[in-house]
Structure 1
Amino acid sequence: MEILLENLPNPFVYFVPIFFILILAEVYISYREDKELYDLKDSFASGWVGIGAAILNTLTKMYQIGFFFLFYKLFEPLREEFLGYSSLGWAWWVWALCLIGDDFNFYWHHRFCHTVRLFWAAHIVHHSSEKFNLGTAFRNGWTIFLYKPIYWIWLPALGFNPIMLALCMSFNSIYQFFLHSTLVPDLGWFGKVFNTPRVHQVHHASNVEYLDRNHGGILIIWDKLFGTFQSREEHIPPKFGVIHPPNSNNPVKLNFHEFIDIWNDVKRAKSWKDKFKYVFYPPGWSPDGSTKTSKQLQKELASQSDANSSEKILTV
């Protein structure tokens, strides 16, 4: 089966009407039940950020697929010599493997976006809203498309057709749109394997208990395998947003404020080692501990909880 690059279908075209119908339905429910799920300025910010992301994604699509084709062709002789095939083809099981491989890859890409400050600077815009609604799904960073394909090159190198990979990445993004809602209840057994809106609420929360958890795209099993899964606790309602909010609805500031903060920290750093750490260590790292990473904050919280528990026992 041969698909020409210029005829690459765009699944988003078919889903955009569904997206907007669901957003309008969510707005109506929010208004009718006084849930305050939407804020006008915040929604406009998400819209403008989303439009910018869509334009940049379209402009870089050829670059991304061309990048995949480069490694697809570059490794073709090695596949033929050592693996006995030139391409994995288009069979249904290859599609299934590609979807799983893409989702596995998305997990690690997403996790690094939360644990490497430079990548967090590109991703933070998606978490900057203090509202969690379907419109938030469009709030994607404008710079993330520049480096994101690097994580995926091993898939075309193994023989997955770049067109297939691009479609699987699109399907993953489409699925994730439906995760951004507080109106969907617990989905029971489905949420044991697949990512759900309830699970994704934890990911978007700025509560210390919930920081850097649930990075999966379609499947949540990666978080369970690699120790980053956190269920939503009834006694800890999620507080959406980020610990250090940009306090702005300007789409340009939303996309670049963390890069500016990194630059200012690097300029103030007293050694090259600290300059490096400000860029590549987890968000919140500082040489003097004046600001803390999520792991440091969670460790402090755990120590405080243990101390409180011990105090209660002694009191009893």
Structure 2
Amino acid sequence: MDFTNPLVYGVPCFLGLILLELSYSKHHKEKKDLYNYKDLGASLTMGIGSAIIAPLTKTIAAIVLFNFIYNIFNPEINGIRTNIMGYQSFGYVWYVWLLCQLADDFSYYWFHRQNHNVRVLWAAHIVHHSSDNFNLGTAVRNGWFTVLYKPFFYMWMPAIGFPPEMVVVCLGIESLWQFQLHSVFIPKLGFLEKIFNTHTMHQVHHAQNFEYMDKNHGGFLNIFDKIFGTWKELDENIDIKYGVTHPPNSYNPLVILTHEYKDIWNDMKKSKNWYHKFMYAFAAPGWSHDGSTLTIKQQRKLLTKQVNA
């Protein structure tokens, strides 16, 4: 069965909604500085590049990787797709779609969380966080290299029996949800805040405030953040500072794309020890061999010790 990736229809809507929010913000006294035109230009350049690269890599993921995994783990037996565990592979009934979307959300949580916990992955993902503005333009500010490894976080889904095209559609739906979260105009949504990852929660995720960093990695739902200890509610009494602690300080797309890789390389040269070099690339951002810089987790442990001392 063939399906169209929902992002095919989403991209024109993205541009229209960005224009609408931009126009509205310029006539809204408190939000007139929501958009910086140079920053928006950089974000749109990132988005256009992603739109060109993504179809190529997603085609490889869907046609080659996901189908390869699906066929290996779900061979046809007497004309029926059967998982190697002995059950019939999943079909297209409505509840399987819901299960697939839930599985996608679980995968997205760990993909997103590892983007913040593994520095070489952070080097690709930091592009999305590098703007000190939070708006729908920032939503399309995507790194060009994340698409190279993202499919590997979803390989288990076709392996257990979800059809590859279903996985790709759910990935597209997830992206649509993620786009619209990048707005400051949507307030807390009451009861829905208990279930879904909402706009205010995503504001927390994009903040560089110490208490907010590395929080709210979820896609649709916030349940996985709550289960695995990374959920944080927005405190409306805290002024949010968006962006990253080590920004590119440039609107040049090439600088935005590569500045963290350059920083990793420079850090690796600080020590001749190969373990240290490895850790500078694969430990959490902020790790250092001499304690000159600390990860967020290390900083929080140190703060706890100081408070309890």
Give the TM bin, normalised by the shorter chain: over 0.9
| Residue identity matched to 1:10 | N
Q: Which runs of 5+ in 1 are unaligned?
A: 308-316
> Which residue in the other structure is 2:36 paired with?
39
1:86-105 superposed Cα distances (whole Å, 9 cap, x missing partner): x2111111111100000000
Q: How many matched pairs? A: 301
1:132-182 superposed Cα distances (whole Å, 9 cap, x missing partner): 001111011101111111111100001100000000000000011110011
> Which residue in the other structure is 1:256 paired with?
258
Partner SS for 1:109:
helix
Range with bigger deviation, 97-106 or 249-258: 249-258
| Residue identity matched to 1:45 | A
Equivalent of 1:76, from 74, 77, 87?
Answer: 74
| Residue identity matched to 1:262 | I
> Which residue in the other structure is 2:6 paired with?
11
Greater helix content: 1
Cα pair 1:106 1:217 within 8 Å, conserved: yes
> Which residue in the other structure is 2:51 paired with?
54
| Residue identity matched to 2:12 | P
How do residues 47-126 of structure 1 correspond to structure 2 at under 5 angstroms?
Answer: 47-65=44-62, 66-77=64-75, 79-85=82-88, 87-126=89-128
Aligned-partner Cα distance in 1 for 2:132–2:303:
23
> Which residue in the other structure is 1:212 paired with?
214
Give the C-alpha shift of residue 41 in structure 1: 0.6
1:209-253 superposed Cα distances (whole Å, 9 cap, x missing partner): 001000001111110011000111122221100011110111111
Range with bigger deviation, 11-20 or 257-266: 11-20
Cα pair 2:248 2:256 within 8 Å, conserved: yes
> Which residue in the other structure is 1:313 paired with?
none
Give the C-alpha shift of residue 260 in structure 1: 1.4
Range with bigger deviation, 291-300 or 216-225: 291-300
| Residue identity matched to 1:92 | W
Partner SS for 2:190:
coil
Cα pair 2:5 2:168 within 8 Å, conserved: no
Segments ≥4 residues shifted beyond 6 Å: none
- The yes-or-no answer on 1:267 pairing with 2:269 is yes
1:81-135 superposed Cα distances (whole Å, 9 cap, x missing partner): 53232x2111111111100000000000100000010110110000000000011
Aligned-partner Cα distance in 2 for 1:20–1:146:
25
Give the C-alpha shift of residue 276 in structure 1: 1.0
Cα pair 1:208 1:297 within 8 Å, conserved: no
Cα pair 1:76 1:157 within 8 Å, conserved: yes
| Residue identity matched to 1:167 | V
1:1-50 superposed Cα distances (whole Å, 9 cap, x missing partner): x22xxxx4131232333323322221122111231110011000000011
**Measured at CA, do residues 81 and 178 of structure 1 come closer, stay the same or move farther in structure 2, by a change above 3 Å?**
closer
**Measured at CA, do residues 208 and 80 of structure 1 come closer, stay the same or move farther in structure 2, by a change above 3 Å?**
closer
The percentage of counterpart residues that share the same residue type is 51
How do residues 67-216 of structure 1 correspond to structure 2 at under 5 angstroms?
Answer: 67-77=65-75, 79-85=82-88, 87-216=89-218
Aligned-partner Cα distance in 2 for 1:218–1:132:
19
**Measured at CA, do residues 41 and 97 of structure 1 come closer, stay the same or move farther in structure 2, by a change above 3 Å?**
same
RMSD (Å) for aligned C-alpha atoms:
1.6
> Which residue in the other structure is 1:21 paired with?
16
1:174-201 superposed Cα distances (whole Å, 9 cap, x missing partner): 0111100111111111111101110000
Partner SS for 1:201:
helix
Q: Which runs of 5+ in 2 are unaligned?
A: 77-81
Partner SS for 1:83:
coil
> Which residue in the other structure is 1:225 paired with?
227
